[in-house]
């Protein structure tokens, strides 16, 4: 019997030296094939990942989907687990994954895993934390990451049998409010590029409703209201990010319309 499940783990990273140790330490007993694909770190991320036993490869950034597809291609095993550099697999989730392979092939061909965001000052997921549940554990033969530069999802073959794990990935995504806002600002640039690529646009009227609607979504529907002052601040950042995406697309179309008149 192998000392590890027949499972590859891949992570994409850039300038994650302050967070990567916790992420890699948590998966040391899960795989003997841990891959970090770096897109040009300048803070020692590559050296740190190598010291912690990962295979480190460089790939120029081309968007979320292309970067993760490149990482998939480097994996040794058919089964793959994707985690981000700011995410941690807690012991109960690691044990659950190991148990899937204890008697051979898992029951399903892909598994959704809930991901709960942990705010600065919180040591574990809040009891009211909103959690997404994307497919993160899957067989290469039934799915690959979408080639989209902004949509971070696994596209599965039709009729793929999908299960869901009970445990939760811990997501330490926010270094600070300012860092989060800078990250979201950069992400909106990529979203506008994706809109152009797909010949889509966002109606101008959404400029006037996007911010309050997005704030309601985060603060009420995603339950940030239960998480104190930090919940309010992150809901505001989320609302501004959603509004900024609309504003940048409206601005782009105005500039293009002016150029077409010249």
Domains in the chain: boundaries = 7-171, 177-261
State residue 2's pLDDT score: 55
State residue 261's pLDDT score: 78
State residue 3's pLDDT score: 84
Give pTM, 2 decimals.
Answer: 0.92
The distance from CA 69 to its chain's CA centroid, rounded to whole angstroms, is 13
Superfamily for the 7-171 domain: Spore Coat Polysaccharide Biosynthesis Protein SpsA; Chain A (3.90.550.10)
Low-confidence ranges of the chain (pLDDT < 50): 1
State residue 56's pLDDT score: 98
What tens digit of pLDDT does each residue of 103-117 get? Answer: 899 999 999 999 999
Closest by CA position to 137, among listed 112, 116, 160: 112
State residue 1's pLDDT score: 45
Q: Judge contact between 135 and 110, C-beta under 8 A.
A: yes
């Amino acid at each position: 019997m192998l000392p590890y499940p027949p499972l590859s783990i891949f992570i994409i990273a850039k300038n994650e030296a302050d967070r990567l140790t916790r992420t890699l330490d948590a998966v040391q007993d899960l795989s003997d094939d841990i891959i970090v694909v770096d897109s040009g770190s300048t803070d020692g991320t590559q050296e740190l990942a190598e010291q912690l036993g990962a295979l480190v490869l460089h790939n120029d950034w081309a968007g979320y989907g292309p970067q993760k597809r490149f990482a998939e291609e480097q994996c040794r095993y058919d089964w793959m687990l994707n985690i981000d550099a700011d995410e941690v697999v807690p012991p109960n989730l690691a044990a659950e994954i190991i148990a899937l392979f204890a008697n051979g092939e898992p029951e399903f061909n892909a598994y959704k895993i809930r991901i709960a965001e942990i705010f600065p000052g919180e040591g574990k997921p809040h009891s009211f934390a909103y959690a997404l549940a994307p497919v993160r554990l899957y067989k290469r033969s039934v799915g690959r990451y979408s080639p989209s530069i902004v949509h971070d999802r696994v596209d599965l073959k039709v009729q793929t049998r999908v299960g869901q794990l009970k445990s939760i990935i811990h997501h330490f995504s926010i270094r600070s409010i300012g860092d989060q806002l800078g990250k979201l600002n950069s992400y909106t640039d990529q979203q506008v590029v994706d809109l152009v690529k797909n010949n889509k646009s966002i109606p101008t009227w959404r400029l006037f409703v996007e911010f309050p609607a997005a704030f309601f979504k985060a603060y009420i529907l995603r339950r940030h209201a239960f998480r104190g002052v930090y919940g309010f601040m992150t809901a505001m950042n989320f609302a501004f990010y959603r509004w900024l995406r609309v504003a940048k697309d409206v601005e782009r179309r105005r500039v293009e319309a002016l150029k077409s008149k010249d």
